[in-house]
């Protein structure tokens, strides 16, 4: 389910792959909106300046939506994920020389 808040959700069921692709599409739309806003900003007319600011605001909102939805998704399905850090084994495997510096 696609949750918009702790209790409200959209009536769609997505797999993890579909969820990630949906997030990527939203970020792509945000980037497109920002680029289009820049094009209108460079024209210089008053109306085009308002359109440009509107497109920048839309792009910013679309860019931040995946962050918000991702936090809700992590809180709902992996609540302990934010509390758990890397284990000693992972640290030793990833950075073998790092432990010798701090000992």
Domain chopping of the chain, boundaries: 12-102
Q: Please answer whether residues 59 and 31 qualify as being in contact, where contact means their C-beta atoms are separated by less than 8 angstroms.
A: yes
Res 67: pLDDT: 83
Give CA 32 to chain center in angstroms.
Answer: 16
pLDDT tens-digit profile of 25-40?
A: 989 999 999 888 888 7
| pTM (predicted TM-score) | 0.60
Using only C-alpha atoms, the chain has a radius of gyration, in whole angstroms, of 21
């Amino acid at each position: 389910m696609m949750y918009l808040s702790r209790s409200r959700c959209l009536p769609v069921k997505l797999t993890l792959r579909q969820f990630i692709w949906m997030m990527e599409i939203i970020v792509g739309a945000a980037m497109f909106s920002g680029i289009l806003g820049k094009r209108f900003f460079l024209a210089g007319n008053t109306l085009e300046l308002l359109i440009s600011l509107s497109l920048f605001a839309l792009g910013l909102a679309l860019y931040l939506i995946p962050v918000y939805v991702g936090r809700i998704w992590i809180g709902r399905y992996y609540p302990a994920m934010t509390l758990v850090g890397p284990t000693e084994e992972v640290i030793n495997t990833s950075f073998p020389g790092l432990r010798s510096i701090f000992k």
